[in-house]
Amino acid sequence: MTRLSHDLAARRPYLTPDFSDAEYDRRLHAVRAGMAAAGLDALVVYCGPASYASVRWLTNYQPIGGNTFAVIREDGGITVTTDGVLHAEPMHSMVWTCRAADLRCAAGPVYGGAPEEVATLAAAAAGTARRVGLAGSLAIPQRFYAALAADLPGLVPADSVVANARMIKSAEEIDAMEQSGKIADAAFEAVFAALAPGVADTDVAAAAVAAMLRRGAIESFRTCVVAGPLAGLKHSYPRGHILAAGEMVFLDLGASFKGYCSDTSRTCTIGPPARRDAADLLAVSAEIYAAGMAEMRPGRTVDDVAQALLRVVRGSRWEPDFYPGGFGHGVGLDLFEAPGGLFAGSTAELRPGMTLAYEPMVVVEGLGTGVIEDTVLITETGHRLLTNSPHRREAGA
């Protein structure tokens, strides 16, 4: 199929890993420990267009499309199979980023291959394993699942094995997330320099994206600059709206550096300082942010944080517009990852090495979004901010 060799010897001159050999070994050890605890002889990890993060975390491989499996065996072997190739030529398709020696490429249906070939190759890589776990069981297409199950009758869901291994960040991962946070802070500097009456929201977003690109990052997600009536619906994207004095504007952005995501939000008004309802909304957003942050330390649960937030708004005019069912999420190589969503009632315990996007919010339709969001690292003794833009800024006064 290919004209250029894509074995490890051919890939090595191009391969610049995002993490060290010691970190590579640590990740595989963590996964194999999870496999042993679950009684698995092998683990098949599926990644598709929704997210390639688990394969990237395990192997450094950064697919540009298609479907990819990583197969980890009890004997220590690891195999990667992929149909994410362009022009049926793997070495044109980022496979040179894969540090696993055993890489098997399928043409895929776009180039005339059997649709399930990539899954059949993964099943073959599991060898004679009798009890095989599947991570990515909620995302895998039915056709791929059927191909795996036909050859691996002991296949069982095992999403938690990789999710738990990725949840607690190593020193190298934290360093990447710190860089991601600093780049997001720089993007906010560019945003506030651009915000002014008469400026298009698209120009503000462009300033943020340019700041990220100049620093070696890309967007974690599409940058939100939401002003006027839409600011009371929180998430929306720039659409050429011309900013007007007095409008509230919701800002949400994140940088992705070596794949690691930051996520941070701020709200302000355009032109003169906020007054009346807008000023009150900004004030309560700061109050709930501080109340929950006081609970951000090891041993506390997500619900402990939620109850601190609820104590601020309970009985106030803001209670109906506060969102206890979603005030953040785990973040890392994925924008949303373990320990999952932050919501009232969650018994998930905060642990050192967890990284969270913390965003308690009061969202008032017709007025705006009161939120301060930061990316937070749980430490041995408390927490540390990985994003740290000023909470209150006047825009274009």
CA atoms in the 13 A half-sphere facing the CB of 190: 23
Q: In which residue ranges of the chain is pLDDT below 70?
A: 1-2, 274, 392-397
Distances in Å between the Cα of 153 and the Cα atoms of 121, 149, 315 are 16, 5, 56
CATH topology of domain 8-167: Creatine Amidinohydrolase; Chain A, domain 1 (3.40.350)
For the chain, which residues make up each domain, given as ranges? 8-167, 171-385
**Structure confidence at residue 395 (pLDDT):** 63
| Nearest of 297, 327, 334 to residue 309 by alpha carbon | 327
Cut 0.85: pTM above it: yes
Distances in Å between the Cα of 148 and the Cα atoms of 152, 203, 239 are 6, 48, 44
pLDDT tens-place string over residues 257-290:
999 999 999 999 998 776 789 999 999 999 999 9
Distance CA 41, CA 32 (A): 9
Its CATH class, for the domain covering 171-385, is alpha beta
3-state secondary structure (DSSP) of residue 206: helix
Q: Provide the 10 A C-beta neighbour count for residue 311.
A: 12
3-state secondary structure (DSSP) of residue 201: helix
Q: What is the DSSP track for 267-322?
A: EEEBSSPP-HHHHHHHHHHHHHHHHHHTT-STT-BHHHHHHHHHHHHTTSTTGGGB
pLDDT tens-place string over residues 351-387:
999 999 999 999 999 999 999 999 999 999 999 999 9
Q: What is the DSSP track for 101-170?
A: SEEEE---GGGT--TTHHHHHHHHHTTT-SSEEEESTTTS-HHHHHHHHHH-TTEEE-HHHHHHHHHS--
| Nearest of 339, 338, 355, 242 to residue 296 by alpha carbon | 355
Paired tokens of 379: 């430490």
**Structure confidence at residue 326 (pLDDT):** 95
**Domain 8-167 and domain 171-385 have a common topology:** no
